[in-house]
Amino acid sequence: MSVHANYIAGSWVEGPDASKNVNPSDLSDVVGEYARADRAQAEQAIAAARAAFPKWSMTTLQERHDLLDKIGNTILARKEELGRLLSREEGKTLPEGIGEAARAGQIFKFFAGEVLRIQGEKLASVRPGIDVEITREPIGVIGLITPWNFPIAIPAWKIAPALAYGNCVVFKPADLVPGSAWALSQIIVDSGVPAGVFNLVMGRGSVVGEAFVASKDIDAITFTGSVGTGRSIALRCAELGKKVQLEMGGKNPMVILDDADLNTAVGAATNSAFFSTGQRCTASSRLIVTEGIHDRFVAAMTEKLKALKVDNALKQGTDIGPVVDQSQLDQDLSYIDIGVKEGAKLAVGGERLNRETEGFYLSPALFTETTSDMRINREEIFGPVASVVRVKDYEQALATANDTEFGLSAGIATSSLKHASHFKRASQAGMVMVNLPTAGVDYHVPFGGRKGSSYGPREQGRYAAEFYTVVKTAYTFPG
């Protein structure tokens, strides 16, 4: 089996080490071997991006538009192939994998359009005869560090705006699932990106990520991952004067009020908490339910979860695939044990499952009779585990929903316009959903949270310009 190489300064380059990418649905299936860069290769990639920046930053809008549009079209034409690769290496179901690949293509096409819509302002000065122009310019070299749970969509929503606004890129995907990132990188390379403008450097965060953060030739870091790593990156970037964008954890609430349509509430809660095996930063692992609907909701959720099919991600009819690897499975099982010891009732699931192929299968777990102070309601589990918290009324539900150090996404199921409108305003989250799952956002609107979930400008949509560009104010006196 040949090793998939890194891409540095316009050439595919073998690394000093390699890792095997294993299918979590079938541990006997090796997706491929992927190079791991050392610090020297990471620094070579950074140097290549720095050297390419002056020319790339001055390219025409048409050149950048054409490149991004070509990339987007290629991804969309290959979405089934890319989606199958994604599901094979990460474990989300095949429909989810194909949907994520399609989203990556849509993101590139959106930013191909944004290239042609880069805006500025021209103002009159308070001084006579002087013009003022406000423009946006590229930052320079941007280090991209992406997670394993969305291995093609998150790289896309970082790479596309970086290139659209004239920046150069050094890209480190998650070491656990490099396959989708490598396939995306090959598409970018084959689309004609100039040497040095885009660089793929696979490897460990402690090596490649550390090189990104330490380098004086990287002007900005965009990171999606754990809270601890994100905060460490922020401190290092502050010391070096780098611009930083962080998307970190979540402990997202889904409120179900007495007046909610039960089917809508159960559908939204099931999707939010358990689809993609619960491995989404926007997953709602806290289901906050008022007394009048509580028992009916728990009974309906229990039956719904028992009916879900947990199996190989590539099998037709699978609702939930495997957990991504042994480490994550161990963490999920540990939290299930913690919940039981804390006095929560394990209403359904939480069991290790055996299937036709050996994999990391776990039945979706639902806890009831929980309280907000339990660890399972305070800490991000990042698996198919959710808790029901019983509350008296809307006011207590809102207070419970906001009682967290995180603030990424929040949802409410209700037929009350009054409560829906109030929740949208009073929820301390960056994204709010009414009668919809907390996970799942459009590619053309901003993504991000508050409190401990996010730091820096928003990702995606037109708001991406806030991170990927710097504002310049220029004065002219014609004389």
CA–CA distance, 65 with 76 (Å, rounded to integer): 17
Q: How far is CA 108 from CA 7, 48, 90, 142, in A?
A: 20, 23, 22, 17
Q: Which residues neighbour 17 within 8 Å (Cβ) at sequence distance 6 or greater? A: 35, 36, 38, 203
The predicted structure's pLDDT at residue 1: 64
Residues labelled catalytic = 247, 281
What number of other Cβ atoms are within 10 A of residue 475's Cβ? 10
Residue type, 421: S
Does pTM surpass 0.85? yes
Phi/psi of residue 368, nearest 5 degrees: -125, 175
The predicted structure's pLDDT at residue 440: 83
Place of tokens 């502050």: 238
Phi/psi of residue 48, nearest 5 degrees: -65, -40
Q: Which two tokens stand for residue 131?
A: 């013009």
The predicted structure's pLDDT at residue 409: 98
Q: Which residues neighbour 335 within 8 Å (Cβ) at sequence distance 6 or greater? A: 375, 376, 379, 381, 383, 385
From first to last of its 479 residues, the chain has per-residue pLDDT tens of: 699 999 999 999 999 999 999 999 999 999 999 999 999 999 999 999 999 999 999 999 999 999 999 999 999 999 999 999 999 999 999 999 999 999 999 999 999 999 999 999 999 999 999 999 999 999 999 999 999 999 999 999 999 999 999 999 999 999 999 999 999 999 999 999 999 999 999 999 999 999 999 999 999 999 999 999 999 999 999 999 999 999 998 999 999 999 999 999 999 999 999 999 999 999 999 999 999 999 999 999 999 999 999 999 999 999 999 999 999 999 999 999 999 999 999 999 999 999 999 999 999 999 999 999 999 999 999 999 999 999 999 999 999 999 999 999 999 999 999 999 999 999 999 999 999 999 888 999 999 999 999 999 999 999 999 999 999 999 999 87
The predicted structure's pLDDT at residue 443: 93
Q: How far is CA 89 from CA 149, 203, 249, 314, 473, in A?
A: 10, 16, 22, 11, 47
Q: Which residues neighbour 360 within 8 Å (Cβ) at sequence distance 6 or greater? A: 24, 91, 322, 323, 324, 325, 326, 328, 329
Helical spans, DSSP H, in 275-385: 291-307, 326-341
6 DSSP β-pair partners: 13
| Burial category of 123 from C-beta neighbours within 10 Å (exposed 0-12, middle 13-18, buried 19 and up) | exposed
